[in-house]
Each structure stands twice: as structure tokens, then as C-alpha cells.
Structure 1
Amino acid sequence: MRPFVAPVSHRERLLGAAAQFTAERGWSALTMAKLAELVGVSRQTVYNEIGGKPQLAEAMILRELETFLARVDAAFSDNPADLVRAIEAAAVNVLELARTDPLLHMVVRSSQGAESDLLPLLTTHSEALLDAAGAVIGEHVRRYDVPLDRERMQVMVDMVIRLVLSHVMQPAGEPRETAATIAWIAERVLAA
């Protein structure tokens, strides 16, 4: 007997196809009709499941964020007694994944050309991304015994996320070196 495998929802299939197509051909080449054709559903199904193209963009970015946050979860799980080491490992994981992520590469490349619809979701309109990352990382950080009150801890989490995101968008060095610097900054904040 075969094990039960849950069917993939239309939404997941749509987001996966949109991300793959966008990474390969660019965001401006993707239309809702093309997406419907790729997945084998009606255009109305695309609109019912996703909404318009702006909602598709945000859903794709948040879906991609889940992949990155899974790496963050692993880093914190691997370092349950050392917050600074967990931050460093999480930063390494994210920065290394960013180097090979095809959708992220397309978004970053688009910042140098005309295709910039997705870029603001990582920069000037990144509230959803920052909120989602902040919630996940904040939950991990609260498990550690640290000398900061909740408000200051949230400020530190926000700082780390923004530093990592900045290096995702414009790498300044090797992931391990950058992560070590971010961890050093976090350690100084924790010691203050």
C-alpha cells in the first residue's frame, strides 16, 4: 500500500509555477493567462486563488521567504544554548541560500533594469517580509536567557533581519565572514 500524500493545492501549484517562470523568463513576461496555461487551470481560477498580479508578487515572495526561514529554524534548533552562534548560523544559511536562489537572483538583477515590480517587496515595501521574519526569529530568540527587555530584544531582532536582508540584496563578502560580523554586532548589543 502506498503512503498517503496530500494533494498539492491549486494555490501552491500556481505559486510554484509563477516562481519558476519568473526566475527563468522574468516577471514582466508572466501574465495571469500564461500562469493559468502553465498550471492547466482557468484564468478565473488564478484570480480566485491568488488575486491580481500584485497579490501574486507578494505571495511568491512570502512563499520564497518560507524556504529561507526553514534554514533559520534549523540554525536555531542546532544551537539551543548559544544565541549568538544561532544568529551566526542562521545568517550563514540565509546568505548561502541567497547565492543560489534563482528567483532571488532574478529580483536582484531586475534592480539594474526595467523590471522592478518585485524589488520593492524586498526593499521599500518589505513590511510583510519583515513582519513574517520578525515573528519567526523573535519566537526563537525569546527562548534564550538574554539580558534585554522584550522591546530591546525586538529592536535587536529587527536589526539582525535588516542587516541580513541588506547583504542578501547586495553581498559585501563571503557568507561566513558576513555572518560572523552580524553575530559580532548582535553579541555587542546583547552585552550592552
Structure 2
Amino acid sequence: MPAAREALLDAALSALGTLPWATVRMVDVASAAGVSRQTLYNEFGSKDGLARALVRRAADGYLAGVERALQSPGGTGDRLAATAAWTVRAARTNALVRALLTGCWGERLPRPARLSGPPSSPVPAQRRADAGPPTPAELLVLVRDRAVAALDGGRPPHDLAELAVTCEIALRLALSYAVAASSVPTDTAPLVREVVERWPAG
């Protein structure tokens, strides 16, 4: 039931905007989504399963935005600047994305525990969610590797190694602005573009 699943995730995210996760009730999430509580449990198995799905969706949404940014027009600097700008925007507007990128969850957010055994949900999307979200280090590597693949352009192997370093520097610079915003409003994109263009692989 993809439509019901998305409605439940939307309702859970909406509830999270006003309540700490610990006080979000499954019955209220189901009611807000317009489905039965049994449907909620059929989809997610438990509140922790709902949390894992919510966090997985946030990770997938962030990575989809990365893919879009990497398809922006322009050269390496422009496309990494667009990726950095998206990273900062996503982290500032979505607390789950910020937690995924930084590892700082706080008491208000769901921090689902990894399952001790293999995922066993009958719902394929839930089995994927139950596998657990990426750690900040894993997420950084995912974005870096996607950036390298998008920007490769048939470079020689030694240039690819330099490109990987360039991509990681751009991402870490973006994360620094996502975590500790400048006291003076700063557009991250031009800064990343300048750094990338000075780096050998840019």
C-alpha cells in the first residue's frame, strides 16, 4: 500500500514537527493519515519500524537531491557547488537529514536501533528501512562516490583519486556550514566553487 505508507510517513513527520518522538502515538499517526492503526502496524511492524522508515525516507530524499544537484549545468565547480548548496539547505530545513549527516540526533528525534538480525518484514520497502540508515561516514562516502561517478568524464585513474578528494572537501565544507552557520549570512555555493576550482582535480 504505497499511498497509505507515504500518508503514514507524512503524518509521522508532521507530528514530529510539534512533539518529541517519544510522545508521538501510533494511533494519532494512523488517524492523521486516515487509515486504521492495523494498517500502520502492517506496514511498519512497530513504532521503531516507523522510525526506521521515516529516517530511511529522509536519507533517500537527501540522496535524490544530491543526484539532481550533480546533474546541474556547468563544470565540476558548478555541480559540486550545487551539491554543497543542497546539502546545507537540506540539513537546515530537515532535522532528520541534519541528524543523518552529523550523527547528532537529540532527544526530540527518532533514533531507531539497528535490528540484531536480518530484516524480516513482509513489506519490501520496510525490509529496506529495517536494514538501518547509513551512518554519517557511510552517507559521506555515498555522496562522494556519486559525485565522482557523475563528474568522472573519462579521467585517468590518478585524476579520479584527486577528484574523490575534491568531492570530499566540498562536502565537508558544506557540512561545516550546515552544523555551524556563519554569523554573517553566507552563500556556500560560491565558496565551494572557488575551493574546487583551485584544487588540481577541479
TM-score under structure 2 normalisation?
0.62
Higher relative contact order (CA 8 A, sep 6+): 2
**Could you tell me how far 1:39 is from its partner in structure 2?**
1.7
- Structure number with higher helix proportion: 1
How many equivalent pairs are there?
A: 178
1:23-172 matched pairs, under 5 angstroms: 23-80=17-74, 82-99=75-92, 101=93, 103=95, 114-115=107-108, 117-118=110-111, 125-126=135-136, 129-130=139-140, 132-134=142-144, 136-143=146-153, 145=155, 148-172=158-182
Does the Cα contact within 8 Å between 2:72 and 2:79 map onto a contact in 1? yes
Q: Deviations over 1:18-62 (max 9, x none)?
A: 112112333232133332222233334323323434443343233
**Could you tell me how far 1:174 is from its partner in structure 2?**
3.2
Change (3 A) 1:48 1:137: farther
Change (3 A) 1:73 1:102: closer
Identity within the alignment, %? 27
164, 187, 196: which one aligns with 1:186: 196
Task: In structure 2, list runs of 5 or more residues that go unmatched.
Answer: 114-133
TM-score under structure 1 normalisation?
0.65
Change (3 A) 1:175 1:51: farther
1:11-30 matched pairs, under 5 angstroms: 11-30=5-24
What is the CA RMSD across the aligned residues, in angstroms? 4.0
Task: In structure 1, list runs of 5 or more residues that go unmatched.
Answer: 1-6
Change (3 A) 1:60 1:165: farther
